[in-house]
Each structure stands twice: as C-alpha cells, then as structure tokens.
Amino acid sequence: MSPLAFYPLAFVCIASAMGVVLSRNPVRSALSLVASLFCLAVFYVFLQAHLVAALQIIVYAGAVMVLFLFVITLLNLESDRGLGEKPVLSAIGFGAGAIVAGGLIAALSRTSLGARAVTLVPTFGTTKVLARQLFGDYLVAFELTSMLLLVAVVGAVVLAKRDGSYEGDEQEAAVPARSEEASH
Amino acid sequence: MIGTVHYLALSAVLFSIGAVGAVVRRNVIIIFMSIELMLNAANLAFVAGSNSLGSMNGQSIVFFVMTVAAAEAAVGLAVILALFRNRQTVAADEIALLKW
C-alpha cells in the first residue's frame, strides 16, 4: 500500500474514531463509528483479507451498527453533556490515553514482525483457504460460535422483553385453569 | 513504503482512542461503541500480523472476534434497553445500585 493511500485513509480513520468519543449526539457517534469501520475494511482489502473486509462491512457496518442506531432512536436520548461536565477528569483520561498510545507504539515499533520479507502464496487470503482453516483446524471453535450466537439471541430476547408481557403469560396460563374448573 | 509497523501503530492509536472513550464518556451506548472500536483495533493488528507472517491464522481469529462482538452487541444493547426501562437513564454514573 502506497503512503499516498495509507496516510489520508489513516487520518480519516483516526478522525472518525475521535468523532465517536467527542461527539455529544449519540447518532453522530454511531455514524462516525461506521466511517471508521469502513476505513478499516479498506485496510483489510490492502492486506489481502478480502473475506474479512466483506464481513466487516456486512456484519459491523451493516448489522451491528443498525442495531446501535435502532437502540439510540428507540430510547430517544437527548444529547448529553458530553465531556464538558468534568473537564479535569476528562483531561486526565485523555492524558492516560496518550500515554497508553505512546507506550504501545514504542513497544510495537521494536517488533520483529515484517522484518523478514515473506512472499505470500497466490492463494493467500482467498475464501477457499480461510474456509478450509475454519472448517478444519478451528472446527470445534466454529461450532462453539454457533452455540454462542444461539445463547446470545435467546438472552437478548429475554432481556429486551417487556415486563408487562409476563402478566400476559400469567393470564394465558390462568385461562385453561379456569376452564378446567368449569369442566369439573 | 508502508509496512506492518505502520498498521500496528494505527491499531495502537485506535485502541487508545477506544480506551479513552470507554473511560471518559458517561453514556453507556457510547462506552459500548468505544469497546467495539477497541475490538476493531485488535482485528487490524491480527490482519496485519497475518499478512506479515504469510499465515492465515490471524484472519481466522478475526472471524471469531467478529462473532463474539456481534453476540456481545446484541446482549449488551438488550441490557441497555432493560436498564433504560427500569431506571430511565443511560448515564453510567447514575447506575450505582451496588454502591453504598
């Protein structure tokens, strides 16, 4: 990837990530996050991870962010006070974040990753190779993720269910009991 | 020429922004989005490492991270809905039931 493509894209990615944290309006935060995720998908394409890039757009920028926007609009939140309320604590947070970033970059710049030039095989990153690995080496983990998703769906439905609907269930349960009494 | 180190540095910056967002903001939904940002930074590091080592394992792990993140988003947003229904707030500092 040429620097002319990398740096503008990285700038947009970081700027929209900052937008997520700094924006007062939750909807604006969510849309900034979508922009950031799109930039990451472009990076994945340049890194020969085509399937991951497609999944990133479909799963993250599509499904997950729609879920976020749905909840934000459902709750009808007014813009909160953002960072303005406790400026000292916010400044401490940003300072700590800058230290973390500096430390991570200092540690990562000494990595041996990429020091040795690796020639990628022509099939690197194809769906076929990734699928062979997912359904071969990682088969057990793959099946466990299907269990995880099932549990998550059931959990989400149970948690998001209205409390009022339990009364409805009791009423429904009470109706056959009364008809039994009537038949006796 | 852009190498693996550049991608790792970008990943570190994104992770730090996500960490700051999770610490600084009060809105639970924004904290959630910051966590997604951190997961995505880790994904970028995995994909960059996978490319630099010529091994597909990193991309497989990204697949699993995405699955876990999707499950986490579904359950977490349901928790936020239930919380808002009971307390009429999504501010993290007003939810202090265990504090005495």
Is residue B82 less than 8 Å (CB to CB) from chain A? yes
Specify whether A2 is located in the same domain as A73: yes
Q: Report yes or no: B38 at the A interface, CB cutoff 8 Å.
A: no
Question: Is residue A8 a part of any domain in this protein?
Answer: yes
Reported for A36-42, long-range contacts at CB under 8 A and 24+ positions apart, including other chains, are A36/B14, A36/B37, A36/B40, A37/A61, A37/A65, A37/B40, A39/A9, A39/A10, A39/A12, A39/A13, A40/A13, A40/B40, A40/B43, A40/B44, A42/A9
Is A52 within a domain? yes
Whether residue A162 is found in the same domain as residue A173: yes
Give how far Cα B2 sits from Cα of A38, A97, B9, B11, B54, Å.
Answer: 20, 25, 11, 14, 17
Distance (Å) from the C-alpha of residue B100 to the closest C-alpha of chain A?
Answer: 22
User: With an 8 Å Cβ cutoff, are A26 and B15 in contact?
Assistant: no
Same domain (yes/no): A22, A2: yes
CB contact under 8 A, A148 and B68: yes
- Domain hosting A97: range is 83-121
Residue A148 placed within a domain: yes
B59 touches B45 (CB < 8 A): no
Q: What is the mean pLDDT of residues B81-91?
A: 85
Query: Is A173's pLDDT higher than 80?
Result: no
Q: Which of B20, B57, B72, B83 to mutate to test the interface with A (most CBs of A within 10 A)?
A: B20
Please state the rounded mean pLDDT for residues A8-14: 95
pLDDT score of A84: 63
Please give the ipTM for the structure prediction: 0.91
Domain membership of residue A169 (yes or no) is yes
Predicted pLDDT of residue A109: 82
- Is residue A127 included in any domain, yes or no? no
* A125-137 pLDDT per residue, tens: 888 999 999 999 9
Q: A172 to chain B nearest CA, in Å? A: 24
User: Domain spans of chain B?
Assistant: 4-94
Higher pLDDT, A31 or A175: A31
Clarify whether residues A76 and A91 are in a common domain: no
> Total structural domains in chain A?
3
Is A76 found in the same domain as A2?
yes
Q: What is the interface size between A and B, counted as CB pairs within 8 Å?
A: 226
When scoring A31, A40, A121 by the number of chain B Cβ atoms within 10 A, the one with the most, hence best to mutate, is A40
Does residue A133 fall inside a structural domain? no
CB contact under 8 A, A125 and B59: yes
- Chain A residues with CB-CB distance to B48 below 8 A: 47, 113
A131 located within any domain = no
Give the pair of three-digit tokens for residue A57: 């757009």
A76 domain residue, yes or no: yes
Residue A172 has pLDDT above 70, yes or no: no
> Above 60 in pLDDT, residue A106?
yes
Share of chain A above pLDDT 70, in %: 83
Among 3.90.1150.10, 1.10.486.10, 1.10.3720.10, 1.10.287.3510, name the CATH number for the domain at B4-94: 1.10.287.3510
pLDDT tens digits, one per residue of A24-66: 889 999 999 999 999 999 999 999 899 999 999 999 888 999 9
More confident position, B75 or A124: B75
Residues A75 and A41 in one domain: yes
Which CATH number do you get for residue A55? 1.20.120.1200
B73 close to A (CB below 8 A): yes
Short-list B87, B6, B30, CA closest to A83: B30
The answer to whether residues A28 and A98 belong to one domain is: no
pLDDT digits (tens, 9 = 90+) for B13-71: 999 999 999 998 888 999 999 999 999 999 999 999 998 888 889 999 999 999 999 99
Residues A23 and A76 in one domain: yes
pLDDT digits (tens, 9 = 90+) for B24-40: 888 899 999 999 999 99
Interchain pair A121, B54: CB under 8 A: yes
